[in-house]
Amino acid sequence: MNTIATNNWDVANQRYLAAALATVRNALERHIARLRGAAEVEVEEQQTLQQALDESTSAMPAPSSLTKLCVAFDLSPFERDVLLLCAGMELDGSFAALCAAAQGRSWDEGNGAAGRYTGTPYPTFSLALAALPGAHWDALTPSAPLRHWRLIVVGTGNALTLCPLRIDERVLHYLAGASHLDERLAGIITPLTAVDDLVPSQRVLAERLAAAWSPLAGTSRRTFLPRRGEAHSMSIVQLCGEDVAGKHAIVAVACDMLG
């Protein structure tokens, strides 16, 4: 991407993320309404939020960080919303109060006229299962993407479903469009910058390498990570020749094609 395209993507990515967070915030509000016996948020509001999300999707010049992450790690809609629930704690100041209200067991009248729920002001699996649509228990397992790939971190507690959840910092920055090398990989790997001036023969090799790792590379950006219940089938490719810099450039471009 050139500078203008990158800036446009950054703005569109932020809008898309905000729209996605709004749908999860709405799910929390509707859950709180059910707990209080109040009328749920109007269907029209849900439709408005969905329309805003659809419009922000259409405005993306390239797939959003959230979309690419969901594809790469094969996240279900529920797992995506759990990730957004955790991201909301970092990006939206209303999420802590909503989490507390959604998990509150008593109403504190002594906190001003409005009062407040005295609950748990952070995301938990219990909250996600109760408030988010399409909930499924296997999303909680260590082998499921959220925990297996450490997209979220499960805190300590007496029960898994009541432990605090938080998004991994590296993943949070990625969703916001600020990708950087994970500090846990520092000293283990060296980042390579994709170049734009590969000779035609090198570009052909880069495309073949990307295709070997992902049959739909460059279109849907299909993941090279294993799907649920599948064995890891990523091909091992050896680049031969004495031009080390050229081989590095080929691999960097191939990885860039995969997102």
The percent of residues in the chain predicted with pLDDT above 70, rounded, is 81
Whether the per-residue pLDDT at 185 is higher than 90: the answer is: no
pLDDT at 258: 74
What tokens appear for 44 in the block? 């029209």
pLDDT at 180: 76
CA 132, chain centre distance (Å): 16
Instruction: Summarize the confidence of residues 157-180 as an average pLDDT.
Output: 93
Both 125 and 238 in one domain: the answer is no
Q: Is residue 91 part of a domain?
A: yes
Q: Is residue 249 part of a domain?
A: yes
Both 46 and 168 in one domain: the answer is yes
Q: Is residue 159 part of a domain?
A: yes
pLDDT at 108: 56
For residue 117, how many other CB atoms are within 10 A of its CB?
22
Paired sense of beta strands 152-154 and 165-167, if any: antiparallel
Both 25 and 150 in one domain: the answer is yes
Whether the per-residue pLDDT at 153 is higher than 70: the answer is: yes
Instruction: Summarize the confidence of residues 240-252 as an average pLDDT.
Output: 88
Which of helix, strand or coil describes residue 156? coil
CA distances from residue 65 to 29, 205, 226 in whole angstroms, order as listed: 26, 27, 20
Instruction: Summarize the confidence of residues 3-23 as an average pLDDT.
Output: 85
pLDDT at 115: 55
What tokens appear for 152 in the block? 């979220």
Instruction: Summarize the confidence of residues 201-220 as an average pLDDT.
Output: 72
- Rounded to the nearest 5 percent, the helix, strand and coil shares of the chain are 55, 5, 45
Both 154 and 87 in one domain: the answer is yes
Residue 165 CA to residue 35 CA, distance in Å, equals 22
For residue 99, what are the domain limits? 3-175
Instruction: Summarize the confidence of residues 61-80 as an average pLDDT.
Output: 93
Q: Where are the alpha helices (DSSP H) in the chain?
A: 3-35, 43-58, 65-72, 77-91, 95-102, 125-131, 145-148, 169-175, 200-213, 244-257
Q: Which residue has the tokens 């629930």?
A: 85
Which of helix, strand or coil describes residue 140? helix
Nearest Cα to Cα of residue 178 among 52, 6, 58: 6
Both 103 and 32 in one domain: the answer is yes
pLDDT at 84: 98
Q: Is residue 134 part of a domain?
A: yes
Instruction: Summarize the confidence of residues 86-105 as an average pLDDT.
Output: 91
Q: Is residue 57 part of a domain?
A: yes
Both 17 and 142 in one domain: the answer is yes
Both 18 and 131 in one domain: the answer is yes
Residue 53 CA to residue 31 CA, distance in Å, equals 20
- Could you say which of 175, 209, 230 is where a domain stops? 175
Both 245 and 163 in one domain: the answer is no
Number of domains in the chain: 2
- Could you say which of 175, 210, 241 is where a domain stops? 175
Please give the model's pTM, rounded to 2 decimal places: 0.75
Q: Is residue 66 part of a domain?
A: yes
pLDDT at 75: 95
Whether the per-residue pLDDT at 171 is higher than 60: the answer is: yes
Residue 43 CA to residue 49 CA, distance in Å, equals 10
189 Cβ contact partners less than 8 Å away, ≥ 6 residues apart = 181
Residue 226 CA to residue 73 CA, distance in Å, equals 8
Q: Would you place residue 38 in the very low, low, confident or very high pLDDT band (cuts 50, 70, 90)?
A: confident
Whether the per-residue pLDDT at 34 is higher than 70: the answer is: yes
Whether the per-residue pLDDT at 86 is higher than 90: the answer is: yes
Per-residue pLDDT tens over the stretch 249-259: 888 888 877 76
- Could you say which of 175, 208, 225 is where a domain stops? 175
Q: Is residue 191 part of a domain?
A: no
Q: Is residue 186 part of a domain?
A: no
